[in-house]
């Protein structure tokens, strides 16, 4: 903790300026990554991730600010409805303070479509529900989700003394990781309701959906709410059966929709098997340059564990610095491009 306690005084001036003068309207250009384990791993492991992100020139990390039900390494934000675990929130306090110290902003995701870390299945289980889309319909579930959002946004960081809603280290809130629905009109209404709810609690930060894009819903309908500030989409050719041309087309299709809507766009996750990763990433990052895409975050930057070994590559998409020599130069090159573009 002592490594960052001195941040409080440094934060005060910038936080006051942010709270008084900034109403977030635009998504800045950035080269970023995803990292899900920050809220439940040691401070040493957190520090290593941020150090590696700095080495890659990354300025944004998308990470989980949710966990329902079962604990991970003793951490879980919401073990039961309306019950919040203070040690887990203190861990998120550390992550946010460390991000600020590292010059990195965070996109915080508030729930999960999948069962990992609880997600929609845990919300449904709490209320004896079985239909996936009852998450978007049932008032008890919606009230529980809203209460959790309020708890997060109104939290005051125990390290910096800064409320999350006033902290410029947080770039944006995402409603959910990869939300899906079989009742799309209900889902679209839910997106509008919840994004407006976040806007009421916190008008300072950007908001988006966390959507995979056209693979799961209509992109326009998902992002048309005035309270949704930018478009989100993901890309996993191995899982979706896309060939190389279809993958490039998928990127361009979403960019076209975003430009027609007049909203920034965020490629929030992407990955492909390591056998073809280098050549494919070269193609994708080149498209992102040509189309001047605002936000990019690959899946997944991992680092060393406390015993010095690399964190396991569970899905086959992990990037390690400096071990992943196949793509390190591509990612760093894109970071340098974004930086140069920003100072021109």
Is the pLDDT reported for residue 218 higher than 60? yes
Q: Which residues pair with 296 in a beta bridge?
A: 31, 267
Instruction: Let me know if 178 is a catalytic residue.
Output: yes
> What is the token pair recorded at 131?
């239909």
- Split at pLDDT 50, 70, 90, the class of 341 is confident
Active site residue 323: no
User: What is the pLDDT, as a whole number, of residue 228?
Assistant: 98
Instruction: Confirm if 181 and 173 have CB atoms less than 8 A apart.
Output: no
Residue position matching structure tokens 């070269």: 282
What's the pLDDT tens digit per position in 107-149?
999 999 999 999 999 999 999 999 999 999 999 999 999 999 9
Q: Which of 68, 174, 212, 269 is catalytic?
A: 269
User: Which domains are present in the chain?
Assistant: 24-343 (3.20.20.80)
pLDDT of residue 25 exceeding 80: no
Residue 256, CA distances (Å) to 221, 265, 293 in order: 15, 10, 11
Using alpha carbons, select from 86, 140, 135, 87 the residue that is nearest to residue 111: 135
For residue 3, pLDDT over 80 is answered with no
The per-residue pLDDT of the chain, averaged, comes to 93
Q: Residue by residue, what is the 3-state secondary structure of the chain?
A: CCCCCCHHHHHHHHHHHHHHHCCCCCCCCEEEEECCHHHCCCHHHHHHHHHHHHHCCCCEEEEECCCECCCECCECCECECCECCHHHHHHHHHHHHHHHHHCCEEEEECCECCCCCCHHHHHHHHCCCCCCCHHHHCHHHHHHHHHHHHHHHCCECCCCCCEHHHCCCEEEEECCECCCCCCHHHHHHHHHHHHHHHHHHCCCCEEECCCCCCCCCCHHHHHCCCCCCCEEEEECHHHHCCCHHHHHHHHHHHHHHHHHHCCCEEEEEECCCCCCHHHHHHHHHHHHHHCCCCEEEECCECCECCCCCECCCCCCCCECCCCCCCCHHHHHHHHHHHHHHHHC
Bridge pairing between strands 30-34 and 265-270: unpaired
What are the strands of the beta sheet with 170-174, ordered from one edge? 206-208, 170-174, 105-109, 60-64, 30-34, 295-298, 265-270, 231-235
The catalytic position among 68, 178, 212, 294 is 178
Does residue 11 have a pLDDT over 60?
Answer: no
Tokens 């087309």: give the residue. 249
Q: Residues 152-208: pLDDT tens digits? A: 999 999 999 999 999 999 999 999 999 999 999 999 999 999 999 999 999 999 999
Residue 274 has a CB neighbour count (10 Å cut-off) of: 15
pLDDT surpassing 50 at residue 15: no
Q: What is the pTM of this model?
A: 0.93
């Amino acid at each position: 903790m002592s490594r960052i306690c001195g941040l409080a005084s440094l934060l005060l001036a910038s936080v006051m300026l942010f709270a008084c003068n900034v109403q977030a309207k635009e998504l800045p250009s950035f080269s970023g990554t995803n990292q899900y384990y920050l809220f439940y791993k040691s401070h040493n492991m957190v520090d290593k991730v941020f150090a590696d992100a700095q080495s890659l020139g990354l300025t944004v990390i998308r990470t989980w600010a949710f966990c329902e039900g079962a604990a991970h390494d003793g951490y879980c934000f919401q073990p039961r409805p309306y019950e919040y675990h203070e040690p887990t929130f203190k861990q998120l306090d550390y992550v946010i303070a460390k991000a600020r110290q590292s010059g990195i902003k965070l996109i915080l995701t508030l729930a999960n479509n999948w069962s990992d870390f609880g997600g929609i299945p845990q919300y449904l289980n709490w209320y004896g529900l079985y239909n996936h889309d009852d998450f978007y319909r049932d008032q008890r579930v919606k009230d529980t989700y809203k209460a959790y959002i309020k708890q997060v946004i109104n939290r005051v960081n125990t390290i910096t003394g800064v409320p999350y809603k006033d902290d410029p280290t947080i770039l944006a809130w995402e409603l959910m990781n990869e939300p899906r629905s079989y009742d799309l009109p209900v889902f679209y209404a839910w997106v509008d309701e919840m994004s407006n709810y976040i806007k009421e609690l916190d008008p300072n930060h950007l908001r988006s959906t966390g959507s995979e894009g056209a693979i799961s819903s209509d992109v326009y309908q998902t992002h048309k709410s005035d309270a949704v500030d930018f478009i989100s989409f993901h890309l996993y050719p191995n899982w979706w059966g896309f060939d190389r041309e279809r993958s490039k087309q998928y990127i361009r299709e979403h960019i076209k929709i975003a430009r027609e809507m007049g909203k920034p766009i965020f490629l929030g996750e992407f990955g492909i098997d390591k056998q073809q990763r280098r050549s494919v990433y070269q193609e994708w990052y080149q498209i992102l340059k040509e189309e001047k895409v605002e936000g990019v975050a690959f899946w997944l930057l991992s680092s060393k564990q406390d015993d010095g070994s690399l964190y396991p590559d569970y899905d086959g998409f992990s990037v390690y610095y400096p071990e992943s020599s196949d793509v390190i130069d591509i990612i760093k090159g894109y970071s340098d491009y974004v930086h140069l573009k920003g100072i021109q």
